[in-house]
Amino acid sequence: MKTILNTSNLSIGYKSRKGNVVIAQDLNLTFDSGKLIALIGANGIGKSTLLRTITGIQSPLAGNVYLNDKSISKYKPLDLAQNLSLVLTEKLPPSNLSVFELVALGRQPYTNWVGTLTPEDIVKVNEALALTQIEHLASKRHFEISDGQLQKVLIARALAQDTPLIILDEPTTHLDLLHKVSLFKLLKKLTQETQKCILFSTHDIDLAIQLSDEMIIMTPEMVVQDEPCNLISKGSFNALFKDEHIVFDAEKGKFIVN
Amino acid sequence: MVNKKRNTILFATLAIGLLLMFFASISLGSVNIPFKEVYTSLTGGQASKLTWEYIIINYRLPKAITAVLVGTGLSISGLLMQTLFRNPLAGPYVLGLSSGASLGVAFVILGAGFLPSFLKIIALSSYGIVLASTLGSTLVLLLVLLVSQRLRDTMAILIVGLMFGSFTTAIVSVLTYFSTAEQLQKFTFWSLGNLGNLSWKSITVLAVSVVFGLVLSAGSIKPLNALLLGENYAKSMGLNIKKARLIIIFATSILAGSITAFAGPIAFIGLAVPHIAKLTFQTSNHMILFWSTLLFGAVIVLFCDIVSQMPGFDVTLPINAITSIIGAPVVIWLLVRKRNLQ
C-alpha cells in the first residue's frame, strides 16, 4: 500500500479583505492506494472547499498538500491531469458526444496536439468501459442515457484518464437507492481491482458506512479520518448534526429520527 | 465502422460540390461563360473570346476566391464561438466585432464631411474603408481580450461582447441621424456586403489573414473537444483554459475582423453553417467538424454568390440579402426540427 496524497497541517478557507476565513485547520489526512474513502459532513460545512484545496484548484491558507510526495502547487496542469481525475456534479453542456467519445476525452492528457487516439488509448478506453460495465452503451449519445448510466460514463472517463487518484463530488445525488448501491459497489470494486484511491463526498452516510474503507467526517469543531467501525465506536457520528431529533444508533450503524 | 465510411462519402461529396460551385460561380452571371471556356482559361489556356478572359481574370475569379475565403473564415469562427460559449446561437458577431467594424466605417463615411478635403478623398477610397473597418474591429477585439483577461466566466465575455455591440450600434445610429442621404446610401451599400471589387492585392491580404486564423483554429481542435465537457472538466484534463480561450477569441477576431473589413458584415454564415455541418455529420468531434464546416462554408457562400449574380439577368443582388434570405429559414428549420440544438 502506497500513500498517494497527504496533507500536512493543512488549513483551508478563504482569503478576504478582513483577513482569512478559516474553515478547518491542522488537517493531516492521508489517501492510500486501494482505498475507498468517503467524505461526509452537513451542508455548508466546507466539503467542497476541502476538495477544491486538495485538488489544487484553491490554494491552502497554511500547510501543504502533497501528491506523490510533491507539493500539488508545483504540478503543471498536464502532470496533474495524469495523477488526478475528477467526476463533478455539474451538468454537461449540450453536445452530440457519444459515450465512447466522452470516455475517450479522458485520454486527452496523453494524446497529441489534435487528440488522435493511438491503439493504446483505445485499449484504455475499452478497459474503462468494461470495468464500469457500460460497453453496450458505447455508441449511444450521452443525453440518451439515464442519470445512473451517465454517472458510470463519467466514472469511466475518469478511469480512462488513468490516474492513481479519482475524486468524485457527490456522485450519488440524483440516483435512487438501487442505483446508489450499485454505484458504491462499483467504486468499491474499482479500488480493489485497480488499486486506485477513490475519494468521494456524499450525504448517503449509512451506505458509506457499509461500503467504504475509510471515512472523513467534517464538523465545525474537527475533521477526523478513520475506518467506519472505529468512528462508530468513538462516537464521532453524533457530532455530525447539531439537532436533538437526529441520533446516531451505534448498534444499527445508522441515523434515527426521534 | 459505418460512421467512417459515411464520413468519407460525405467529405468526397462536399469536395466535388466545392469544385462544381467554384466553376459555376465563375461561369454564371449576367454574361454566361461555358464551363469548358472557364476550364481552359483557368488552366492557363486562351478562352475563345477576349472579353470572357477579361471577365474571368478580373471579376469572376477574384470574386469566387473571396467567396471561398469569406465562407470558410466566417463558418469556422462561428464554430469556435458556439463551442467556447456553449451557446448554439453564438456566431462571430456576438463578440461585437462586426459592430466595431461598422463603427469604423460609419465614422469614415458619415463623418467624412468634417474632414479637410484631401483627407476626405483618402478616407472615402476603398482602402480607407478597409482600414477604418479593420481599426474598428481591432479596437473591439482589444477591449474584449482585455476584459476576458479579467473575467473568469466565459459567459460574462459573451455579455460584454453584446454590450460592445449595442454601444457601437447606438453610435452608428447617432451618426446616421446627422448625415446626408448620399452618405447614408454609401454606408448602407457597405453594410449590405460585397464579395466583388477586391483587387488581387486585397485578396492576398485577406487570404493571409484568413489562413492564419484557420491555422490557429486547427490548433484549437483538441481544446475545443475538451470544452465539450465544460471548463471545469477541461481544466481537470490538463487544459490551460486561459490560454485556449485567448487563442480561440484571437482566431475568431482575425477571421471575422478581416472578412468584415474587405467584404462588409455578412450575416448568418457564421451562425448557420456550423449547424448544417453538425447535423449532416452527426458529431461533436471538432476533428471532423473543422473540415466539414470549412467545406460547407465555402460551398454555401459560393452558392449564395451565384444566386446574387442572378444568372441571365442584368442585375446583381447584395450578398448579405441572399445569405439572410437563405440563412434565416435554415436556422428556424433547425430549431423546429431539432428541439435540443447541439
DSSP 8-state symbol, B56: I
CA dist list (Å): B300 to B72, B256, B258, B266, B326: 10, 17, 19, 13, 10
Tell the burial category of B299 from Cβ atoms under 10 Å away from its Cβ (0-12, 13-18, 19+). buried
What ipTM was reported for this prediction? 0.92
| Superfamily of B13-337 according to CATH | ABC transporter involved in vitamin B12 uptake, BtuC (1.10.3470.10)
Q: What is the pLDDT of residues A150-197, one digit of tens each?
A: 999 999 999 999 999 999 999 998 889 999 999 999 999 999 999 999
Residues 247-286 in B contacting A (C-alpha not used; CB under 8 Å): 278, 282-285
Residue B338 scores a pLDDT above 70: no
Of B88, B219, B284, Cβ closest to residue A113: B219
Q: CB-based contacts of A179: which residues, under 8 Å, 6+ apart?
A: A147, A148, A151, A172
Residue with cell 470558410: B72
Residue B182 scores a pLDDT above 60: yes
Beta pairing partners, A12: A24
Of A86, A96, A111, Cβ closest to residue B342: A96
Residue A118 scores a pLDDT above 90: yes
C-alpha distance from A144 to closest chain B C-alpha (Å): 12
The residue-averaged pLDDT of B37-47 equals 81
How do the domains of chain A map onto residue ranges?
A: 3-83+163-257, 91-162
Chain A CB within 8 Å of residue B287 CB: yes
Residue with cell 452527426: B282
Stated pTM of the model: 0.89
Chain A CB within 8 Å of residue B117 CB: no
Asked if B104 and B135 touch (Cβ cutoff 8 Å), the reply is: yes
Question: H helices then E strands: how many in chain A?
Answer: 8, 13
Helix or strand run (H / E) with residue A225: strand A223-226
How do the domains of chain B map onto residue ranges?
A: 13-337
C-alpha distance from B232 to closest chain A C-alpha (Å): 8
Per the prediction, chain A carries an average pLDDT of: 92
Beta pairing partners, A87: A168
User: Which of the four pLDDT bands, split at 50, 70 and 90, describes residue B277?
Assistant: very high
What pLDDT was estimated at residue B78?
92
Residue B324 scores a pLDDT above 90: no
Asked if A8 and A35 touch (Cβ cutoff 8 Å), the reply is: no
Q: d(Cα A51, Cα A171) in Å, to the nearest integer?
A: 14
Question: H helices then E strands: how many in chain B?
Answer: 16, 0
Q: Do A96 and B283 touch (CB under 8 A)?
A: yes
Residue B314 φ then ψ, to 5°: -90, -10
Residue with cell 463578440: B95
Q: d(Cα B160, Cα B162) in Å, to the nearest integer?
A: 5
DSSP 8-state symbol, A40: E
Q: What is the pLDDT of residues A172-184, one digit of tens each?
A: 988 899 999 999 9
Choose from A75, A90, A95 for mutation: most chain B CBs within 10 A: A95
Residues 84-113 in A contacting B (C-alpha not used; CB under 8 Å): 84-86, 88, 90, 92-97, 101-102, 105-106, 108-109, 111, 113
Residues of A with CB below 8 A from B239's CB? Answer: 77, 108
Asked if A96 and B278 touch (Cβ cutoff 8 Å), the reply is: yes
Beta pairing partners, A215: A38, A226
| Superfamily of A3-83+163-257 according to CATH | P-loop containing nucleotide triphosphate hydrolases (3.40.50.300)
